[in-house]
Structure 1
């Protein structure tokens, strides 16, 4: 038994040395080819990829297919059954003697943009280099010449620079680098790049079901989202679900002069504000009946992992510029593992130079419900609807309100609910999960962060539902990347780190 133990320890030591050597070789190759790598990435960023732009989505998919073919990966499009819906870009690499198959996922579509909201000189699809982040006074600089040293603290600004073209680029670059240093992956690999994640992946289920034989694997590795706010790499074992709602409150049939009718005619903006404030207390806890009832508690392993997550609360409050956080004293990591209700936006008449002395006819709020394991998306939305009714509102789904309804009900709200999707969480003690942890840890000298669930959302429950396959997320972007908003960016060092991370995962 002692001899066997000694042999296993020696083997583990040898494997660790081999993997660290491979990562070092990958780093050296990258250092010698940084300009070529970034040129390809900038080419990808230059293609408009707004999720609802069919032409741009198709062009982006075609560019990615070229990237894959260049690396010797035969690429194809996996078309959903719904005609005209975006396809997933797919490819596979079979490795001799490999006993496990891993699918690497990222998405190539991006959020809509309002160019007027971006900083001067920065356009969403004409990516530029900055010598630092805008928040730290960063200035636009020329693209580095072929003989110029690239500062890893520089930023690249552009839509999808971090979310999630960086994910596509990192995965494919890691595979390329492995080949350039004479290494082959230790697992069979499949590549799956989705084209409508930013729209809630409405046709992903169709693709998974249609191609379930082609998509058989032991694990999906998801490349999306930011590293931990501490800057440390993290491995995430779940995501929150998400469902969106829109609540529109009605008052008078036409706008009214606020002097002639103020204090008498109902003001929908005020009504909506009161309705929204009834949903949460001063500490941010949701007051809607049963909102937290379905939550599946963490396992002991997950609780221990959460306890070890570095605290970044003070750092983030200083960085974001507010004194008091919500949550009644709970930490950020505790709160992102609870269901949430967020007001994404409110609209009622005009403000600023366009403001007029009127009482508006309606007010609208966009709500975002984040879900954790145990919540059902539609059931959670129904709890909100029931709460609105309990506040005295007549709730309808019809866009137009009849005169009969107006004279019958003092409070009227139209509520529309999106499809949404549920949360997902993979067990941290699965053997393949432990292999992922070891691989990512081998790519850095710092202790990595193990997070039971990401604060953001992805429809990962679909992979379990249709393919019975676990998912683990290994994010790469800097936490201050402005994803989904104006001035989205990626820190160059995060790109370099991501290549090493995914090299390690391909050799796990």
Structure 2
């Protein structure tokens, strides 16, 4: 009952929405310095930052250090215990009289790119302006001159434009604006920019454990992901966990002529699709035994927040072009708060002009498991493995299959499991969480969205495990930003909104 009253009282307090005088000050300063802001941002985007490119990662980190030093921020690189790991770029600003410390997190590494998949005239690390999104017929335009106005609906295309260099830039720009306006933050500020997030934050735990004393705080603000599909700002109190699995099934030792051996030799591609079909029903519900059993139910506060989230299902169906969603009638916001099993890719022989009349030797699928609070990575993986066994498969983790195994077992599956992590969720009724909500609501006239959990994943449970500190995610990117894919982009107004958001959080 207490949590219900909290949310009702909160929304009563913010029933009349108005932008704060601080937001107006920030906006006026930004409007007179937009070209300078974007010039620095374009410089950051020009540095290749693919997570596995050591040289590019080092250059990106060095550029961010220069940005921070130019703002007078005391900066250092936090190394992991393992050598050769991308460091976290750390900075600190101590504020006289401040009683709380807030750490702002973003990551500076990016996903791999295939330049051939990007639109003509757009290169991943030669960012360009477009007058609209590609989906809406956007065209490349020249970089605006210092005397030319900048349309906030324009897009900047380039790898990490939204995920997550926009986050790094907006956080640092927010502090820069406060400094230029001679406005003192109300909290001690620490900056933490990770360089290995797109590889699963494999060594983040090492960095947090090794530098725990330097990373003490009252709250982590996570800048990653998109705003709500309605365009409204959102505050997110949790993320799903994630783990990847690869399943490979085997048949004959060499490719076979489909005419000579079809109907007789087993086809691994057919075997695999039948196996995958056994994992889900026609409505997309996972049929694996116990898949949903561990889920921790929402509190009344969280249920009320979900009930207030604007529906975007019809909007997104029209935008994405499909007639019927999965989920058996459940909404998007309901479904992203359940564990999921997704096929990331399937491979077996060739298609198109490279297709041949063969029965392949194997077929492979990459599976992505998203976890919610209550799920455990190892338990969830084991449920999938047990299901494969129940379908009659002999399961191994060995790289190669022996002749003895081939002759003994008619169905063979090799399973490989990546390093995963569990979900995390912060209580919405914490006093500091209420302060975050009020600060962000002060920057806009429309009601912000409060989301118990984001559909995407970050290893935020590590901050609770090693630092005993809550996290709240405050994303800024446009929902149609193509993160992780070709033609990644950021809407310029989202950058401006992000700066206003983080200024408000530095003054909460």
TM-score, structure 1 length as denominator?
A: 0.96
Counterpart residue number, 1:262: 262
For residue 406 of structure 1, report the CA deviation from its aligned partner.
0.3
Alignment of 1:346-425 (within 5 A): 346-425=346-425
Counterpart residue number, 1:63: 63
SS in 1 for 2:225: coil
User: Deviation digits for residues 250-306 of structure 1, max 9, x if unmatched?
Assistant: 111001111111111111111100001100000000000000000000000000000
Q: Does 1:426 align with 2:430?
A: no
Q: CA RMSD in A?
A: 1.1
**How many residues are aligned here?**
494
Alignment of 1:336-355 (within 5 A): 336-355=336-355
- In the alignment, structure 2 segments of 5+ residues that lack a partner are 1-12
Q: Does 1:27 align with 2:31?
A: no
For residue 419 of structure 1, report the CA deviation from its aligned partner.
1.4
User: Deviation digits for residues 26-50 of structure 1, max 9, x if unmatched?
Assistant: 1001000000100000000000000
For residue 74 of structure 1, report the CA deviation from its aligned partner.
1.6
Counterpart residue number, 2:248: 248
Q: Give the distance between the partners of 2:214 and 2:258, measured in 1 at CA.
A: 63
Contact 1:107–1:165 (Cα < 8 Å) also in 2: yes
Counterpart residue number, 1:4: none
SS in 2 for 1:112: coil
SS in 1 for 2:74: coil
Contact 1:237–1:426 (Cα < 8 Å) also in 2: yes
Contact 1:246–1:365 (Cα < 8 Å) also in 2: yes
Q: Give the distance between the partners of 1:372 and 1:460, measured in 2 at CA.
A: 12
For residue 378 of structure 1, report the CA deviation from its aligned partner.
1.3
For residue 345 of structure 1, report the CA deviation from its aligned partner.
0.3
Alignment of 1:11-410 (within 5 A): 20-410=20-410
For residue 63 of structure 1, report the CA deviation from its aligned partner.
0.3
SS in 2 for 1:75: strand
Contact 1:238–1:472 (Cα < 8 Å) also in 2: yes
Contact 1:378–1:419 (Cα < 8 Å) also in 2: no
4+ long deviations beyond 3 Å: none
Counterpart residue number, 1:453: 453
Contact 1:45–1:127 (Cα < 8 Å) also in 2: yes
SS in 1 for 2:318: helix
For residue 381 of structure 1, report the CA deviation from its aligned partner.
0.6
Q: Give the distance between the partners of 2:357 and 2:137, measured in 1 at CA.
A: 39
Q: Give the distance between the partners of 1:107 and 1:279, measured in 2 at CA.
A: 34
User: Deviation digits for residues 401-432 of structure 1, max 9, x if unmatched?
Assistant: 10000000000000000110000000000000
Counterpart residue number, 1:500: 500
Q: Give the distance between the partners of 1:465 and 1:309, measured in 2 at CA.
A: 30
User: Deviation digits for residues 118-171 of structure 1, max 9, x if unmatched?
Assistant: 111111000000000000000111111111110000000000000000000000
